[in-house]
Structure formats: C-alpha cells, structure tokens
Amino acid sequence: MPANSRKTDPSSQPTFVFKGTVQELKSATMKEVPISARTIVVSVDQVLEAPKNLAKLGGHRITVQLSGKQKARVGQEMIFYTQGWMFGHSIAVQSLNEEPIMQSKAHAALLSRGGDPVAHRRSREVR
C-alpha cells in the first residue's frame, strides 16, 4: 500500500445527509434523548443521501445532536451530515458536520441534483 494511502474510518462518514430547518433549540422529539445545548429539533426539508430506512423522512421533525462546530438558530436552514443515534417513535441523529445554507455553487449543485438519496449514498461510499 502506498505511504500516502489512508483508509477512511466508516464511523466518521455520514450515513444520512439532509437539508433541514431548525425548529427548536435545546429540545428533542424523543424523551430518551438527553437534552443539552447541542440537541435541536429539525424539520427535514430534503433528503440528499440516506439508507433505505431513512429515505422517506422528508417533512418529518427529528432530533439532531449538533457536532459543536456551528451554532444554530430557529428558522435557520442547514445541511446536516449525520449518523443514526436513536430510533423509536421518532428519530435522533448525531451530526458529524452541519453547514448553514449559502448561495454557493456547491450547495446549489447538492440541493438540485435530484434522484434517489439511497443511490447517492451508495455512490459516495463507492468513491
């Protein structure tokens, strides 16, 4: 193996990527989630990459535990790069990274690509 080759740790890769709008701060959609300054309730506006069981979450409110890299405010639209955390009558995910939506070419391309979020996830994993 070449010296500059690195294996990517699968636990550091997002499994559920979505555009969402922050609805509540220091809150959760499930009583099992420990509420902190990093837990927020988000409305899933658009699923971008997902496993099959999360691909239809558009329009649902879920709990997100923020990575701590960004501050969130109610009404803010963000792209969340997450992994599953808790599943029950709702869903809670842990964010590996979150980005406020900006009018950048990268965000425009990501949000307008359409297609199947499950296929997009598989494609990224192959790369």
Q: Domain ranges in the chain?
A: 13-126
Q: What is the CA angle 34-22-87, rounded to 5?
A: 45
* CATH number of this structure's domain 13-126: 2.40.50.120
Q: What are phi and psi of 52, to 5 degrees?
A: -55, -40
Instruction: Tell me what pLDDT residue 6 has.
Output: 41
- Determine which of 7-11, 23-27, 79-83 has the lowest per-residue pLDDT on average: 7-11
Phi-psi region of 43 (alpha: psi -120 to 50; beta: other; left: phi over 0): beta
How far apart (Å, rounded) are the C-alpha atoms in residues 62 and 110?
21
Per-residue pLDDT tens over the stretch 53-88? 999 999 999 999 999 988 999 999 999 999 999 999
pTM recorded for the entire structure: 0.77
Is pLDDT at 2 greater than 60 in this prediction?
no
Q: Are 70 and 90 in contact (CB under 8 A)?
A: no
How far apart (Å, rounded) are the C-alpha atoms in residues 92 and 2?
39
Nearest to residue 40, comparing CAs of 77, 11, 14? Answer: 77
Per-residue pLDDT tens over the stretch 31-55? 999 999 999 999 999 999 999 999 9
